Amino acid sequence: MGAAFRLLLVPLMVVAFCTYDVGGRSHYHKKPPPSRHRGGGGGGGKGGGDSGSVVSSPAVPPVDDDTQPPPTGTVPSDPATSEPCVFDVRAYGAVGDGSTDDTRAFREAWRAACDADSAVILVPSDGTFTITTTTFSGPCKPGLVFQVDGVLMPPDGPECWPPSDNRRQWLVFSNLDGLTLRGAGTIEGNGENWWNLPCKPHRGPNGSTLRGPCDSPTLVRFFMSRNLAVEGLRVENSPEFHFRFDGCSDVRVDGLFISSPANSPNTDGIHVENTERVAIYNSRISNGDDCISIGTGSYDVDIQNVTCGPGHGISIGSLGVHNSQACVSNVTVRNAVIRNSDNGVRIKTWQGGMGSVSGISFDTVVMENVRNCIIIDQYYCMDKRCMNQSTAVHVTDVSYANIRGSYDVRSAPIHFACSDTVPCTNITMAEVELLPFSGELVDDPFCWSAYGLQQTPTIPPITCLQEGIPDSLLDNPDLKCR
């Protein structure tokens, strides 16, 4: 075989690899469709990398207008690299009419794309696709993108949920390295019938809660994966948590719009647990529970340019339930807006726990009509019938700086309820200015077993912090984490 012929054959073989056999595979020649959303913020590239560290901070503040979520445009491929191969779910049999079960097509598209370098699974913009509980598992080839430009949703409520399917999760991405979930489309949770189960907490004068099975699915869960990017999606009406990251590392969330009604129970926007090196940027979250919740085993979490509300604010915890050890450290919340919420920035732990929460910074947070703007609660209890216990998760090295805005006068804007035996320590307050949204000033912050320093005059004044560190906390092995 001549040298010239061999040189010609090589590129032909490469082209054939991306076009032959699978049917659903094609070159990604066109640009992604434009965002359907308006406003500022969003964007950003994929997080993670060889160094394992979170990339630089965002530069765009959250949108103040309630009607405008951040943009959700997609990120084009690098022109210096080879074009990705696109696996359109319609080519694998998906119908996208909003009622046909397209689960099989999605699973087949995933299997094909998982085996290809720099593959894109495309959920096209002109369809509404329904699939049942599915785990998209790896390992897969590098550069995999799951692109949602249309509407993707689960069956409509518990009555339509297949009996054989897991009722605690819907989409699961497991054992992956380098996955990007993005798009200009919507993941719709169809959560209303789940919220109305008689076992769910109901609010209002006539609300009630009945005993019974109460499992509801988390909408999107990432499990035991790393180098993840979630960008630009609209996610709404989840039956329970909208996003959950378990056992992951090097995660970047950027430019999401998460929405569910204020009275939808347990619909946390983003939950992080046993996960490290997390960046959550440029997102708007309104829901019926915590805007962002951070569970045990979470380290190096950076939250910036996030707007929350209505909901329960940004929470660390709850931690230490059932006398467990809980460890959280190095969490930063910066340039956030929290409005019309039950809580602002909160740390909540159960009595009887062990471990510590440390290295927490809340910096430049605007509150608008928030009931409990700043709260540490080491007596957290779901039904207020919990037994008093002597151990607790130690809360230490917590900084509040440039916290300003308005509070709902039904509660004091600052509340530090710490353990008698494991007090909160090294709390620092600077440039805190909280005024009533309406009504008269409540100038009596609550402190119990709270130690720290008021670095500048605050409104209302914080005179209840104690100085020093109690001897009972020195060399206590129950308070040690890593």
As annotated, the active-site residues are 312
Other CB atoms within 10 A of residue 455 CB: 14
Quick check: 58 and 307 in contact, CB under 8 A? no
Quick check: 116 and 141 in contact, CB under 8 A? yes
